Each structure stands twice: as structure tokens, then as C-alpha cells.
A and B are shown apart, each in its own frame.
Chain A
Amino acid sequence: MKITGTHRISAPRERVFTVLTDPECLSRVMPGCKALESTGDGTYTIQLSAGVGPIRGEYQGTVELADMNEPASYRMLVDAKGKTGFVKGEGRVELTEEGEETTVTYEGNVTLGGPVAAVGQRMHSSAAKMMTRQLFGAIEAEATAEEGVEVKHGIIRDTLRGLRRSRP
């Protein structure tokens, strides 16, 4: 499944790049992330509780950030498995300066497998897009937060933020 898109974040590029690649921020903005730990060299183990609505699965796996070209681009590889299936994804993220704002463009491929693929195909594409909305909603909040202010995330908040930013 191809995933592509563009989001505008009202924060400077360097700040957005940090949010996207700093493990502490990443663990807060990734939807359903319960733990993210570095194993060195840009690789992290991840525990996710991912899903849509009541559909929720626990996934464990790895995230790798590669080809780091601060603050312009990087690649992200995800390989996570759970009882309901597995997710394997790879994508390229590019950040472009637009004055005080940043345009984030991403392009990637995600493979879903196992039970969740066999039974839930109608939701794959829309679920992936929704999680991306949530992700960018959270990124927006983190990137624009004032120093020292703890950002509250949650599915609805993240989604609303994502929706607000993605509507013209």
C-alpha cells in the first residue's frame, strides 16, 4: 500500500526535524507508542498499541532512522509484529522551509500482513491515512509548544489537530 502526503507545520524546519527524529519526541507523537528505546545507530525498539476505534493490537518491533540529512530529509523503516498481524513499512520524509513554517512531504510503502490483512482490507488505506493525520496533529502540537509546556496527546486531540491542519 502506497502512502504519500504533505503536511504544513507552523514551526521552523529545524524544530520539526528534531520532533521527527528525537526518540523522546517521537515516542510522544507516534500514535499508540508505549515505548521507544534506542539500540544504537539510529535503530530503536518500539512497542505500539495501534488501531482504529475499538480495533486495537499490541505490536513490537523496530524503527530505524536512516540516511539522516538534517534538517532536510531522512528515511524511516518500521518492522512491527503482533498477534493480529504485522506491519512493514519504509518511507522517505522531506522537509522544506516555507518562511517560519515547514512543509513535510512523505512517500512510502506499507505492507500489512496476517489476520488484520485478511479480514480488514477495507480499512487499510483509510486507517493508514488516519494514523498519519494523528501523527501530524501530534507533531504540530509538539513542534509549536512553548518551552517547558508538556503537550497533551490523545487520539481525539491528535486527530482534530491533524484534521484542522489538513483542511485548506
Chain B
Amino acid sequence: MIPNTFDYHAPKTLKKAISLLNEHEDAKILAGGHSLIPLMKLRFASPAVVIDIGRVSGISRIKIADGQIHIGALTTHHAIASNARLRRVCAALPETALEIGDAQVRNRGTLGGSVVHADPAADWPATMLALRAEFEVGGPSGTRTISAGDFFVDMMTTSIQDGEILSQIRIPVPPANTGSAYAKIHQSASGFAIAGVAAQITLDGSGNISAAGVAVTGVAPIAYVASAVESALIGNSPDEATLTSAAALAANDASDANEDLHASGEYRKHLATVLAGRALTSAAERATS
């Protein structure tokens, strides 16, 4: 459990980090380290250069302004989990953070790191998709914004280019009468999601669902938006019958289902529907409270 040799840099600005990343061909960004370092210790990843962005300023704050929740890429899961304001404004955010790993992992792991790593069983990608997050990404030729829907391409593959660094995550502040939630079933060894569902529901003046964001992780090679569930919710009252029949569609948009020693594809798809029911029920309750 000892990594191969590597060169280490710890730039203090994002600009310097981007420049280092583009200067070295075989370089990896180190954020919280709880995905990268285990891989390096297993020698499954052996970058020649490690660029530690832990000292870069300005990318680890949580701020609510201009109708957006701004979360720096380097914000730890713990910071999100323990943020009381987020619990009131967008409950799915701290709720997701609390489901990750354990206390030690949450103290070090970051939202940005998790999102860029795009593990098929990571929790954040589902929540980012359900909340319609946007990612601000900096590269040698400037900054661009990628929507969550365009960001997660395939297993551990995002549309971030070599040479770019994720700096900020933006989530629209949910309007009034919105509730969100995250429900997960843990793999008993690793704690990763066998399945996880994030849901956000907004109710209109007559109490019907006017907007819905639902996404699933752990089931398919990468987290996906459960469009069939969203469509089945819009315009309907958030009663048990609606939520149950919508939740039953949670696996419809899975391109493929993961399978391994712990769970078959069929079981994962089933869990997606059960967790969708739980997340939707919780989100609906929060929308009216």
C-alpha cells in the first residue's frame, strides 16, 4: 500500500493549478484525496505529478446569493452536512453529505472531488442532477459552465477536459414550497450506494407538483436523471398514489444496470423504485412544511 513515486505541487491559486495541470501531461488533481490516494496506494493510479489544490483560496465556501447556492469545489462533505442554513434551504444537500462514507471521510472528502471522480456508486452525482446543478470549470482558455445533465457522461467519465479544474458548483435556490431529499441503501462493506435516489419537488398554488428533479445513482454506470419519474409527477397532486406510481418508473431511464457480488442489476433497479418512493415522500413532506 505504497504509491509509486510522484512529484508534488501545492499551488495557492486556481490559475497556478490550471497552469501546472496543462504543463504536465500525466498529472492529477488532489482535492480531499479519499478517492485518489487509495487508488495511488493500490498502484491502480500512478500519476507522475500530483497537484494538491487544498491550499487554493476561494473554492471552499458555501454562499447563498443571487438566487444561487454557491458551493466551492473544495467544500468538504462535513461542511455541507453541518450547514444549518442548507438544511433549511435545500435539505437534500446535507442529507446526501451525511450518507457518504464515515466521519473521517466526510472531514476530508470534497463535493468537487466526488463529482469529477464520477464513481458509479457515489452519492453526489444523483443529487447534483436532481437539483439541476451547474459546474464552473476553469481551463487555460478561461472559464465555462457545464450543466449537471451534460457533465456526467459515463462511468468515471465526465465532460471536463484534461487541463480543466472544477472550481464552483451552483445550485438554484429552491423556490417556496419546495422540498428535497436523498435516500440510499449502503453496500455493507464499502458504504457506497447500491442504489441512491435524490428528489426535489416544487408545489404550485393549488398544491400540485409544478417541478420535479429526480436522479438515481448506483444502478447504472453513471448517475442518471429519472425523466420518466419526473414526467409522471408534473401536474399531479403529491399523494401516495402519484408518488408510488411515479417511483415505480425510477429504473426506466437506466441505460444499463450494474451488477456485482453484492447486488444484481435486477435488485438494484428494484431498489431504485423503493428509494424513489422514500425520497419523493420525504421531499413532498418537506415541500408542505
Task: Encode contact with B along A3-37: 1 for CB under 8 Å, 0 otherwise.
Answer: 00000000000000000000000000000000000
Interfacial residues, chain A to chain B (CB-CB below 8 A): 51-57, 83-84, 115-116, 119-127, 129-130, 133, 155-156, 159-160, 163, 166-167
Interface size on B, residues (CB 8 A): 32
Q: Which residue of A lies closest to B161 (CB)?
A: A156
Is residue B202 within 8 Å, beta carbon to beta carbon, of the partner chain?
Answer: no
* Residue of B42, B117, B187, B261 with most partner-chain A CB within 10 A: B42
Interface string of B38-55 (1 = CB under 8 A from A): 010011111100000000
Q: Evaluate contact between A126 and B221: CB separation under 8 angstroms.
A: yes
In whole angstroms, how far apart are the Cα atoms of A55 and B156 in the complex? 9
6 residue pairs of the A-B complex, CB under 8 angstroms, read A51-B44, A54-B45, A115-B42, A124-B260, A133-B154, A159-B154
Are B43 and A122 touching (Cβ within 8 A)? no
Selected contact of A120 from candidates B35, B44, B161, B256, CB within 8 Å? B44
Chain A at the B interface: SS class: helix
Contact A127 B45 (CB under 8 A): no
Judged by DSSP, the binding face of B is: loop
B105-124 contacts to A (CB < 8 Å): 117-118, 120-121
Q: Nearest-CB distance from A153 to chain B (Å)?
A: 14
Known: A121-B260, A124-B260. A129 touches B153 (CB 8 A): no
Interchain CB contact (< 8 A) of B155 among A83, A127, A156: A127
The verdict on A156 contacting B153 (CB below 8 Å), with A56-B45, A129-B221 known, is yes
User: Which B residues are within 8 Å of any A CB, using their own CB?
Assistant: 28, 35-36, 39, 42-47, 117-118, 120-121, 153-157, 159, 161, 187, 190, 192, 221, 255-256, 258-262
* Closest residue on chain B to residue A57 by CB atoms: B44
Query: A84–B157 contact, CB under 8 A?
Result: no
Q: Are B153 and A116 in contact (CB under 8 A)?
A: no
9 A-B pairs with the lowest CB-CB distances in the bound complex, closest first? A53-B156, A54-B45, A122-B260, A159-B154, A55-B44, A130-B155, A126-B221, A52-B156, A126-B258
Known: A55-B44, A83-B43. Is A163-B153 also a contact (CB below 8 A)?
yes
